[in-house]
């Protein structure tokens, strides 16, 4: 096993050698932690913002779907990497949490690229066109529904499109054979992705586990 212990010093070193957050991103991260207490742990890790932006540019994404927006850090990072005529559909159920995102998106000048849809994400996904037009998905919502989201999303991905799923190691609890609830949801998702011949996928030890799945041609 080659993974080093991620000490605070090593984590800081890693962040120092990644693209830095811009002032709007930094402010949003800090406001989320200052105002939302323990709920702030739902925010994507700081290093995931530059990674998501990198993936947007890497695959030339023009249409993105995000399932689980919270206070909008990941949506902001991806929208900033989109071309001016790109679109990001952001799915969430909270007007309160996404209000922080709305303010940041406007401040960064990308609010016109983000279509925030408040309501159950499965309903939003099922209302999307069936044509395979989605380039990139970021999945970071309720874990019990990950498999359901997957089944709605994969048919709508263009060939070569990518689904990025967060928390796929779920604090290490994926090893629990007696898991229930959210942990069991992640376990089922990991098995589904691994067995799905429509995609090629890798599970990485980034943050709390990050799965990258590319739809096969």
Q: What is the CATH number of the domain that holds 64?
A: 3.40.50.150
DSSP 157: E
Fill in the DSSP letter of residue 105.
H
Is the overall model pTM greater than 0.85, yes or no? yes
Residue 38 clears pLDDT 90, i.e. is over it? yes
State yes or no: pLDDT of 211 exceeds 90.
yes
Radius of gyration of the chain (CA): 17
pLDDT at 131: 85
> For position 158, what pLDDT does the model report?
97
Residue 203 phi/psi, 5° resolution? -110, 120
- C-beta of residue 162 within 8 angstroms of C-beta of residue 212: yes
pLDDT tens column, 45-102 = 999 999 999 999 999 999 999 999 999 999 999 999 999 999 999 999 999 999 999 9
Q: Is residue 3 domain-resident?
A: no
Per the domain annotation, does 84 fall within a domain?
Answer: yes
**1 found inside a domain:** no
How far does the chain reach from its first CA to its final CA, in angstroms?
A: 33
pLDDT by residue (tens digit) across 93-149? 999 999 999 999 999 999 999 999 999 999 999 999 988 899 999 999 999 999 999
Asked whether the predicted pLDDT for residue 1 surpasses 80, the reply is no
pLDDT at 3: 84
Q: How many structural domains compose the chain?
A: 1
% of the chain residues with pLDDT over 90: 96
Give the pLDDT mean for 177-205.
97
């Amino acid at each position: 096993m080659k993974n080093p212990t991620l000490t605070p010093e090593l984590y800081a070193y890693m962040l120092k050698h990644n693209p830095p957050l811009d002032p709007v991103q930094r402010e949003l991260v800090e406001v989320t932690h200052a105002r939302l207490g323990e709920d702030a742990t739902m925010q994507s890790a700081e290093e995931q913002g530059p990674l998501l932006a990198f993936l947007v540019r890497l695959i030339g994404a023009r249409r993105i779907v995000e399932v689980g927006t919270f206070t909008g850090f990941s949506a902001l990072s991806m929208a900033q990497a989109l071309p001016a005529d790109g679109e990001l559909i952001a799915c969430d159920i909270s007007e309160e949490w996404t209000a922080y995102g709305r303010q940041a998106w406007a401040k960064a000048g990308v609010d016109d690229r983000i279509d925030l849809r408040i309501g159950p994400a499965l309903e939003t996904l099922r209302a999307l066109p069936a044509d395979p037009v989605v380039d990139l998905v970021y999945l970071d919502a309720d874990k019990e529904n990950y498999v359901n989201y997957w089944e709605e999303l994969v048919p709508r991905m263009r060939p070569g499109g990518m689904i990025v799923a967060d928390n796929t190691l779920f604090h290490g609890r994926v090893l629990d054979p007696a898991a229930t609830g959210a942990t069991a949801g992640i376990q089922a998702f990991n098995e589904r992705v691994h067995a799905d011949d429509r995609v090629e996928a890798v599970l990485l030890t980034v943050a709390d586990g990050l799965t990258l799945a590319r739809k096969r041609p």
